[in-house]
Amino acid sequence: QSYGFQPVGDGEKQGRVNEVFHKVAQRYDVMNDLMSAGLHRIWKNAMVAALNPPRSRAFAHLDVAGGTGDIAFRVIDASDGMAQSTVLDINGSMLEVGRDRAAKRNLLNNCTFVEANAESLPFPDRTFDAYTVAFGIRNVPHIDVALKEAFRVLKPGGRLLCLEFSEVDLPFLEQAYEAWSFKAIPPIGRLVTGDGEPYQYLVESIRKFPNQENFATMIGDAGFERVTYRNYSGGIAALHSGWKL
């Protein structure tokens, strides 16, 4: 089925993605701030506020494509330490940075780091209360497979939240955003990481990702119910939510 986007060749795409994140891992966090002018922090905070993890009981949380731990750390903080977060990423270099950050924040007791592919999760069925993925699902070659895996590992009553760059819905913002993405981000990437090419790739991958409605359809097709989304910053980012009922 077509969801209004062109999947890029599988193994080739994953290899390219791995190379990109291996190259940028050490500078990933500072680049995030520069590229989004700090907005990624606001969007991530909003995602965790939407999740609203409980503060009075255990909460098994999986953060896929979790990279350097940004979402997991926020979930643990928001739960007053009740959440156990598993940070899963295909890239060991990103996880290494995440583990160092967790150690510095004294969060190693609440965090587990797992190197694995979102398309084949190494967990039994019905393991987690929540599955989050922030700015990661567009990098996965087979998004439909990753969504089915999300459904499988969630407990009944569990929730999926996906934060991703999306389709800007304000014409004036669209122009500024295009200029920023294609003209500013690769040179900033070159300055900070010594290589602009990975960021060129990242910007292009945003263009290829399905828009809000199409992605919502994909989530429903994976079995999720009550699928909704909300836009942030005029649709630069969108948060999709679905429930395994």
Q: Which residues are annotated as a binding site for S-adenosyl-L-methionine?
A: 68, 89, 117-118
Three-state SS string over 161-224 comes to EEEEECCCCCHHHHHHHHHHHHHHHHHHHHHHHCCCHHHHHHHHHHHHCCCHHHHHHHHHHCCC
Among 53, 136, 186, 189, binds ligand SAM (CB under 6 A): 136
Measure CA of the first residue to CA of the last residue in the chain; give whole Å: 24
As beta bridge partners, residue 128 has 154
Instruction: Indicate the residue among 83 and 90 with the shorter CB distance to ligand SAM.
Output: 90
Using rule CB under 6 A, residue 76 touches ligand SAM: no
CB of 226 to ligand SAM, least distance (A): 24
CB 150 within 8 A of CB 126: no
CB of 39 to ligand SAM, least distance (A): 12
Instruction: Indicate the residue among 41 and 55 with the shorter CB distance to ligand SAM.
Output: 41
CB of 219 to ligand SAM, least distance (A): 17
CB 43 within 8 A of CB 33: no
CB of 111 to ligand SAM, least distance (A): 14
Amino acid at 178: E
Q: How far apart are CA 174 and CA 181, in angstroms?
A: 10
Using rule CB under 6 A, residue 118 touches ligand SAM: yes
Residues between 2 and 61 with contacts to ligand SAM, criterion CB under 6 A = 14, 17, 21, 32
CA 44 from chain centre, in angstroms, equals 10
As beta bridge partners, residue 164 has 238
Instruction: Indicate the residue among 60 and 143 with the shorter CB distance to ligand SAM.
Output: 143
Using CB under 6 A as the criterion, what x/- string covers residues 83-102 for binding ligand SAM? ------xxx--x--------
CB of 19 to ligand SAM, least distance (A): 10
Using rule CB under 6 A, residue 162 touches ligand SAM: no
CB 210 within 8 A of CB 135: no
**Count of residues interacting with ligand SAM (CB under 6 A):** 22
Instruction: Indicate the residue among 123 and 170 with the shorter CB distance to ligand SAM.
Output: 123
Buried b (16+ CB within 10 A) or exposed e, 187-207: eebeebbeebebbbbbbebbe
Strands (E), the chain: 59-64, 83-89, 111-115, 128-134, 154-165, 225-232, 237-243
Scanning 132-140, 177-185, 189-197, 214-222 for contacts with ligand SAM by CB under 6 A, the matching segment is 132-140
Using rule CB under 6 A, residue 164 touches ligand SAM: no
**Residue numbers of the site for ligand SAM (CB under 6 A)?**
14, 17, 21, 32, 64-67, 70-71, 89-91, 94, 117-119, 134-136, 139-140
